[in-house]
């Protein structure tokens, strides 16, 4: 674990990134310390939070019996046209909080008995999260931290999280940059995402669980199957098998439904069918990636 002294140095380095923002790969260059101009993620100096609660629907090692302590951050560094949380990610639903208030929320989740604190869409607020963590630790916070992200990350920012994040929970959304650009306005998503996954794996390795089956450390990949093969499952599974580990845990998600702007994109304006999900599962197994979870097909 990183010491409080080291954490303070990381906080200072992280706030430096906000001066001409390069917290994520977009590198907007706006000064978020002054809040006068917002970047792509529409976020300023203070964290904005939409909800804080124990969550029982995450992967079993995260939710366990007492729930995963989710903190949903408002705004996002992606613009997925199918976002299922668009009121939070794109429309700004949430309330601005201080880092001190965020620290209190972490402590409250610990008091509720949650197994971990699950930072949902945290990327654009990493400096503020680190500052809150420093405050929470001084008051006894000691739960594992889950970094639950779309996977569009900068290596510099991830480096500041080394030894601080216990469980990385990134999406691998696309195997193809054209799709990433078209549906999420994310230039070079594949390169940024794969580099991020390599770094996360270097930091925490494969999933480790305690004797109750609760995650204590490691990497879990989420892959949402999109209609028409647009999520690039073959390329993603090949990358994981060849460059990460055949033991990596993968959550293969069937829950896609049309939302937000999908009426403007006919090819994704439907749910996936059972055959599409089965094909994604078969690809995963073909590459020897046996660990993880499947969802009931709805």
Cα 203 off chain centre by: 15
Comparison of 26 and 97: residue with beta carbon closer to ligand SF4: 26
Contact 90, 268 (CB under 8 A): no
Residue of 19, 41, 10 whose CA lies nearest to 130 = 10
Q: Does 89 bind ligand SF4 (CB under 6 A)?
A: no
| 120 bridge partner residues | 72, 148
Q: Does 192 bind ligand SF4 (CB under 6 A)?
A: no
Q: Does 40 bind ligand SF4 (CB under 6 A)?
A: yes
DSSP 73: E
> Kind of pairing, strands 48-55 and 95-96?
antiparallel
Q: Does 30 bind ligand SF4 (CB under 6 A)?
A: yes
Comparison of 30 and 272: residue with beta carbon closer to ligand SF4: 30
Question: Taking contact as CB under 6 A, which single stretch among the options 27-35, 162-170, 203-211, 267-275 is the one that binds ligand SF4?
Answer: 27-35
Contact 22, 29 (CB under 8 A): yes
**Helix ranges (DSSP H) in 64-188:** 86-89, 99-111, 126-138, 155-160, 177-184
Contact 150, 102 (CB under 8 A): no
- Contacting ligand SF4 (CB under 6 A), which of 7, 39, 174, 184? 39
Question: Taking contact as CB under 6 A, which single stretch among the options 2-10, 25-33, 81-89, 202-210 is the one that binds ligand SF4?
Answer: 25-33
Distances (CA, A) of 59 to 161, 183, 230: 22, 26, 24
Comparison of 26 and 115: residue with beta carbon closer to ligand SF4: 26
Question: Taking contact as CB under 6 A, which single stretch among the options 22-30, 64-72, 101-109, 280-288 is the one that binds ligand SF4?
Answer: 22-30
Least distance (Å) between residue 46 CB and ligand SF4: 14
- Contacting ligand SF4 (CB under 6 A), which of 2, 8, 27, 245? 27
- Contacting ligand SF4 (CB under 6 A), which of 26, 115, 173, 222? 26
Window 124-183: residues binding ligand SF4 (CB under 6 A): 124
Given the structure tokens 């990636």, which residue do they identify? 289
Least distance (Å) between residue 17 CB and ligand SF4: 8
CA separation for the pair 110, 143 (Å, rounded): 7
Total interface residues for ligand SF4 by CB under 6 A: 14
> Kind of pairing, strands 48-55 and 117-120?
unpaired
Asked whether the CA dihedral 246, 121, 4, 144 is positive or negative, the reply is negative
Contact 17, 161 (CB under 8 A): no
Half-sphere exposure of 225 (CA within 13 A, CB side): 27
Q: Does 43 bind ligand SF4 (CB under 6 A)?
A: yes
Comparison of 124 and 222: residue with beta carbon closer to ligand SF4: 124
- Contacting ligand SF4 (CB under 6 A), which of 7, 11, 14, 24? 24
- Contacting ligand SF4 (CB under 6 A), which of 7, 28, 109, 248? 28
Binding site for ligand SF4 (CB under 6 A): 21-24, 26-28, 30, 39-41, 43, 77, 124
């Amino acid at each position: 674990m990183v010491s409080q002294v080291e954490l303070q140095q990381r906080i200072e380095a992280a706030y430096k990134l906000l001066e001409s923002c390069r917290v994520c790969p977009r590198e907007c260059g706006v000064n978020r310390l002054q809040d006068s101009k917002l970047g792509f993620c529409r976020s300023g100096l203070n964290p904005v939070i939409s909800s804080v609660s124990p969550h029982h629907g995450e992967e079993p090692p995260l939710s366990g019996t007492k729930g995963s302590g989710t903190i949903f951050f408002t705004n996002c560094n992606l613009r997925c046209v199918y976002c299922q949380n668009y009121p939070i990610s794109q429309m700004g639903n949430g309330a601005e909080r201080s880092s001190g208030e965020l620290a209190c929320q972490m402590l409250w989740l610990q008091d509720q008995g949650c197994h971990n604190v699950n930072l949902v869409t945290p990327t654009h607020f990493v400096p503020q999260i680190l500052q809150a963590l420093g405050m929470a630790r001084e008051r006894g916070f000691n739960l594992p931290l889950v970094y639950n992200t779309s996977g569009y990350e900068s290596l510099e920012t991830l480096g500041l999280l080394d030894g601080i994040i216990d469980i990385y929970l990134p999406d691998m959304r696309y195997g193809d940059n054209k799709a990433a650009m078209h549906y999420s306005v994310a230039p070079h998503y594949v390169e940024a995402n794969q580099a991020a996954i390599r770094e996360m794996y270097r930091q925490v390795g494969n999933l480790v669980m305690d004797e109750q089956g609760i995650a204590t450390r490691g990497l879990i990949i989420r892959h949402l199957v999109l209609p028409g093969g647009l999520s690039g499952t073959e390329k993603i599974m090949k990358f994981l098998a060849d460059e990460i580990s055949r033991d990596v845990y993968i959550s293969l998600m069937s829950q896609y439904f049309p939302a937000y702007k999908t009426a403007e994109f006919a090819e994704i304006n439907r749910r996936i069918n059972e055959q599409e999900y089965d094909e994604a599962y078969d690809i995963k197994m073909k590459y020897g990636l046996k660990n993880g979870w499947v969802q009931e097909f709805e």
